[in-house]
Amino acid sequence: MQLELRSAHVHGAGNERRPLAALCEDEPHVHGELTWTIGERRVPCMGLWGPDDVCLGEWWDELTGAVAALSDRQPYTLDSCEQGDPAFLFERTDASIHLSIVAGMGGGDPHPEWQNAEFAWDDLGAALRRFKHDLRQLLALKGPPTLPEEWEKRFSERV
């Protein structure tokens, strides 16, 4: 299993893509290409306006929540609730995680080819740590000197 941050931009009004330096309190959404592959297959349905428009703050928060829940062996549902989006169901059995793309609150359909896709539990934490590291580095390099509060909060979390 691999999670790779390939690009990031600021999601502006409408569907405008702005450079990371434009990140501010009024436009705090960092979107980008976050490629998640399980067994050579790329996980679909993650982006809003295409696969390179994943809401990175949302995935940061949701994957953090997923790892916490799965640590306690609770299942976790990642649902953006956006119209037409399905949801991602994580279930753990000891050393394995099973991912299923299921019906979302926003009306998205389950994905028949993505039911119980299996990967190692250890890989999830490692992939999340790497994603967070890469995004921090990218924002340090190309972001504004002062980050919006929600990002300061994310970056100050205990690792």
Interacting residue ranges for Zn ion, rule: CB under 5 A: 29, 55
Q: Using the minimum distance from each CB to Zn ion, give the nearer residue, 29 or 111.
A: 29
Q: Using the minimum distance from each CB to Zn ion, give the nearer residue, 28 or 110.
A: 28
| Residue in the shown chain whose Cβ atom is closest to Zn ion | 55
CB of 29 to Zn ion, least distance (A): 4
Please state, in angstroms and rounded to a whole number, the distance separating the CA atoms of residues 101 and 41: 14
Q: Using the minimum distance from each CB to Zn ion, give the nearer residue, 61 or 134.
A: 61
Q: Which residues pair with 24 in a beta bridge?
A: 27
Residues 71-88 as b or e (16 or more Cβ within 10 Å = b): eeeeebbbbbeeeebbbb
CB of 11 to Zn ion, least distance (A): 5
CA-closest candidate to residue 18, choices 31, 5, 6: 31
CB of 76 to Zn ion, least distance (A): 20
